[in-house]
Amino acid sequence: MILAIDIGGTHYKLGLVDAAGGIHQLRTGSTDRTGGADWMIARLNREAKELLEQAPAGVRACGIGFGGPVDFAAQRILSSTHVAGWNEIDLPGMLKAELGLPAVVENDANAGALGELRFGAGQGCRHLVYLTISTGIGGGIIIDGSLYRGAKGQAGERGHLPVLPGGPRCDCGNQGCLEALASGKSIGRRAEEACAARPERGSALLALAAGAALSAETVFAAAGQGDPLALELVDETCRYLGLGLAMVVNTLSPELIVLGGGVSRAGEALLAPLRQHTAAYTMPAHRELIRVEQARHPDEAVLLGAAALARTWVV
């Protein structure tokens, strides 16, 4: 058994993962963004101890997927784009001191890519690209069956592909990044802007939201009911995502692209227009090779990949 931890900007998860990818004693909670790194580390220590007390013997190691850049070789968290206090943090060392387990940390999108490769839609693939769309957008690259990390351990930042130069400002400091246009948060923001600009077209969306802020989930729900504005927003989202994926296909020619993260749960409502737009921007010779599939574990791929990494790295 491996203790697996998934630290995101909105939620965190802990669980025990067996060698076959079964998840046991899953715990989830909301991330307190104002609490920063200190809050999260204290919370994880407490929850992990409770979990380990109830666990069968034989938890051998801990694997962590973190929502932000990680220096894998140095085993340090570099920063978080969503939560303060995560600069240059030796989280594996801290957890080892508290829990007595060897620990390994990896960026969550990389962990998700590995989770889908070992236990999900990518089983048997040699070259795979994983794109995760939730609050933000991340990605992981599998080459020849292994995670590709690039020169400094930070390859695969697909969220910051420049799809609309001069477009909306991204949290990274640039403009028109894929994440600033097609993440869950950005889909919601674009919906708010569209409704504010032309309120007469936004009535169905606003009714569905019932006073709450517009979310990607609401946009896909309204699109499923045939609302024209929501359908436009979905199509525009898939155009940006398709442009980003075409950059990946034209560069890496992977066997498979796997879409994970909360927004991927929209299923074919997202995948069908996304396949069309991706093909339109892809070099004709590569079009027939494109396979874009939904993750098999949109919610648990990070836990599964973090566990797989801990198994090969520290056990």
Q: Which is nearer to a copy of itself, 56 or 166 (CB)?
A: 166
Q: Which is nearer to a copy of itself, 56 or 173 (CB)?
A: 173
21 binds a copy of itself (CB under 8 A): no
Per-residue contact string for residues 28-67; x = within reach of a copy of itself by CB under 8 A: ----------------------------------------
100 binds a copy of itself (CB under 8 A): no
Q: Contact with a copy of itself (CB under 8 A): which of 76, 118, 160, 311? A: 160
Q: Contact with a copy of itself (CB under 8 A): which of 24, 152, 169, 198? A: 152
The H or E element that residue 5 is part of is strand 2-7
Q: Are 108 and 237 in contact (CB under 8 A)?
A: no
Question: Residue 132 gets which letter from DSSP?
Answer: E
Backbone angles phi, psi at 171, to 5 degrees: -60, -25
Q: Which is nearer to a copy of itself, 87 or 203 (CB)?
A: 87
Q: Which is nearer to a copy of itself, 251 or 276 (CB)?
A: 251
**Of 38-46, 217-225, 282-290, 307-315, which segment contacts a copy of itself by CB under 8 A?**
282-290
Q: Which is nearer to a copy of itself, 135 or 282 (CB)?
A: 282
214 binds a copy of itself (CB under 8 A): no
Residue 39 CB-density burial (10 A; 0-12 exposed, 13-18 middle, 19+ buried): middle
- Name the token pair of 81: 């784009």
Q: Which is nearer to a copy of itself, 55 or 247 (CB)?
A: 247
Nearest to 16 by CA among 29, 8, 32, 27: 27
- Residue 311 falls in which region: left (phi positive, over 0), alpha (psi -120 to 50) or beta: alpha
Q: Which is nearer to a copy of itself, 170 or 270 (CB)?
A: 170
Residue 237: HSE in the Cβ half-sphere, 13 Å Cα cutoff: 30
Q: Are 145 and 117 in contact (CB under 8 A)?
A: yes
Q: Are 64 and 5 in contact (CB under 8 A)?
A: yes
List Cα–Cα distances, 115 to 95, 97, 180, 230, in angstroms.
Answer: 22, 26, 26, 32
- Name the token pair of 137: 């957008």
**Of 10-18, 149-157, 196-204, 219-227, which segment contacts a copy of itself by CB under 8 A?**
149-157
212 binds a copy of itself (CB under 8 A): no
Total residues contacting a copy of itself by CB under 8 A comes to 42
Backbone angles phi, psi at 97, to 5 degrees: -65, -40
82 binds a copy of itself (CB under 8 A): no
Please tell me the distance from the alpha carbon of residue 71 to that of residue 107, in angstroms, as a whole number.
8
Please tell me the distance from the alpha carbon of residue 180 to that of residue 158, in angstroms, as a whole number.
12
Per-residue contact string for residues 241-280; x = within reach of a copy of itself by CB under 8 A: --x--xxx-xxxxxx------------------------x
Q: Are 8 and 301 in contact (CB under 8 A)?
A: no
Output the smallest distance, CB 272 to a copy of itself, in A.
20
**Of 32-40, 46-54, 110-118, 165-173, which segment contacts a copy of itself by CB under 8 A?**
165-173
158 binds a copy of itself (CB under 8 A): yes
Output the smallest distance, CB 255 to a copy of itself, in A.
4
Alpha helices of 55-101 — where are they, by DSSP H? 91-99
Q: What is the binding site for a copy of itself (CB under 8 A)?
A: 69, 78, 126-127, 141, 143, 148-152, 154-158, 160-162, 165, 172-174, 177, 243, 246-248, 250-255, 280-286, 289
